[in-house]
Structure 1
Amino acid sequence: MGQYKGYLIDLDGTVYRGRERIPAAKRFIERLQASASDFLLVTNNTTKSPEDVAANLADNHDIHVKPENVYTAALATADYVDELAGDGEKSMYVIGELGLKGALLAKGFHFNETTPRFVVVGLDYDVTYHKFELATLAIKRGARFIGTNADTNLPNERGLVPGAGSVIAMVERATQQRATYVGKPETIIMKKAVEKIGLDKQDCVMVGDNYMTDISAAINFEMDSLLVYTGVSTPELVAKQAVQPTNVINSLDEWDLENGVVK
């Protein structure tokens, strides 16, 4: 087998483009499965459960993976906050969708709107002033402030809409505190993903289309990267960066899985 025993793979822009299929990505994942390689689909999405993500891949992209192959920023946030909590109280106030709340509840956390130990903020499609108010007051009382990911915008069929980072930024402005961020390009999600896959980071590579999130996460974590030009980043943008990706390809078909090199 090649130099990499484990692959951490971004989703949107790498495995699919919104609702559009990327045939080379399907072939790449099937090659990983055929070779029994370890892989995790690592996404900053916190609104969906791993089961939902796997179902979307199967139903809309004909890519068939197990929920265990999916690692969301919601799961990484729950793992991180659980680590912070230790044997102490597991109380939280959350701005976020069911994917985030479910991940935290599965770790034994319970809701507390007034004096939680942690305030966790992510993307919430039904966010209200009252939710911002509760989060702000709790942080002012001493709650630890955690942000799922810093993505300011998300692409959908209408254009670039506000992302989790925009929601978190409002709480930061109201509290005059910066959140501890978990998702890409931060190292927390990378550390937790590597722990989940059960390998050393030297044996893994991060595969993604976005230099500013996927590749920067690998660089920050001192892990190898594989940039594929099927999504956000362009050769012109990447050429301007001080630190280059370890590997660059135009299509996942160009990756020699057996030897861990570009064909």
Structure 2
Amino acid sequence: MKNYKAYLIDLDGTLYKGNEIIDGAAQFIEYLNQQQIPHLYVTNNSSKEPEDVASKLHTMGIDAKPNEVVTSALATAEYIAEEAPGASVYMLGGSGLETALKAYGLEIKDDEFVDYVVIGLDEAVTYEKLATATLGVRNGAKFISTNQDLSIPKERGFLPGNGAITSVVSVSTGVQPTFIGKPQPIIMNKALETLDIDPSAVAMVGDLYDTDILSGINVNIDTIHVQTGVTTKEEIEVKDVPPTYTFKDLNEVINELKR
């Protein structure tokens, strides 16, 4: 396997499932840190702030820094701020999305009369929240969703993801949102700009073909699939555009890098 100068790394299904670390994850990051190889954690989870993500990784024995975390919340806030500075937003989501929107100077409102409706993963979603979002889109607000993941891996199994929540508003209004997170290029381009390394020397590491692997393919970088999450080896083998590599887990990736 090629030795890359930098890596973009998925979290859920790649480094951990819920609060359970995946075997090989800590060892892989330790190897990158020892070799001083730059890497960023690119996650579609918009509910947590980078500090929270880094803290969670620390509890699992992974030495991660907040400035190494690129969330769909940060990419979403930057996208809106560049398009319409100071815009008003109605949002569904957690503290990570709220903090990011405010940090980029956007005004969060609690009604349907806004410039943008933004949907991020909201584990406390209610009918009223969905109703307000629906009315906002019907009133002409631009419709943004942090990511289109239909399911997310947790300790209990695969639970509804942000794409499932977003679909309620999409179906109700007939309006499709602009998606920011993987596999869309928006979040990937933000991560690549942060690395500031020739993309030909960067690889995307992830478990889910439809988000992680396609995100790399969509920005023309190499991809490393690990069989520790959603997409199986058998499913990978029948894809029209396969990942550059597929491995059982990150332990196998380390072994390849050390050869």
Structure 1-normalised TM-score? Answer: 0.90
Supply the AA of the counterpart residue of 2:21.
R
**Offset of residue 157 of structure 1:** 3.4
**Match runs of 1:71-90 below 5 Å:** 71-85=70-84, 88-90=85-87
Name which of structure 1's ranges 133-142 and 205-214 shifts more when overlaid on structure 2: 133-142
Q: Distance in 2 between matches of 1:219 and 1:63?
A: 27
Match of 1:20 in 2: 20
Match of 1:4 in 2: 4
Q: Distance in 2 between matches of 1:106 and 1:96?
A: 15
**Offset of residue 19 of structure 1:** 2.9
**Match runs of 1:1-263 below 5 Å:** 3-59=3-59, 61-85=60-84, 88-112=85-109, 113-255=111-253, 263=259
Count of equivalent residues: 257
Q: Among the aligned pairs, what percent are the same residue?
A: 44
Q: Distance in 1 between matches of 2:131 and 2:21?
A: 41
Whether contact under 8 Å (2:151, 2:159) holds in the other structure is yes
Name which of structure 1's ranges 10-19 and 168-177 shifts more when overlaid on structure 2: 10-19
* Structure 1 residues 231 and 93: alpha-carbon distance in aligned structure 2, compared to 1, 3 A threshold: same
Whether contact under 8 Å (1:254, 1:262) holds in the other structure is no
Q: Distance in 2 between matches of 1:121 and 1:185?
A: 17
Whether contact under 8 Å (1:7, 1:38) holds in the other structure is yes
**Offset of residue 235 of structure 1:** 1.5
* Structure 1 residues 138 and 203: alpha-carbon distance in aligned structure 2, compared to 1, 3 A threshold: same
Name which of structure 1's ranges 105-114 and 164-173 shifts more when overlaid on structure 2: 105-114
The alignment yields a C-alpha RMSD, in angstroms, of 2.0
Q: Distance in 1 between matches of 2:228 and 2:130?
A: 37
Name which of structure 1's ranges 119-128 and 15-24 shifts more when overlaid on structure 2: 15-24
Structure 1 runs not aligned, ≥5 long: none
Q: Distance in 2 between matches of 1:262 and 1:233?
A: 26
Query: Runs (4+) of structure 1 moved beyond 6 Å?
Result: none
**Offset of residue 99 of structure 1:** 1.0
Structure 2 runs not aligned, ≥5 long: none
Supply the AA of the counterpart residue of 2:43.
T
SS at 1:14 equivalent: coil
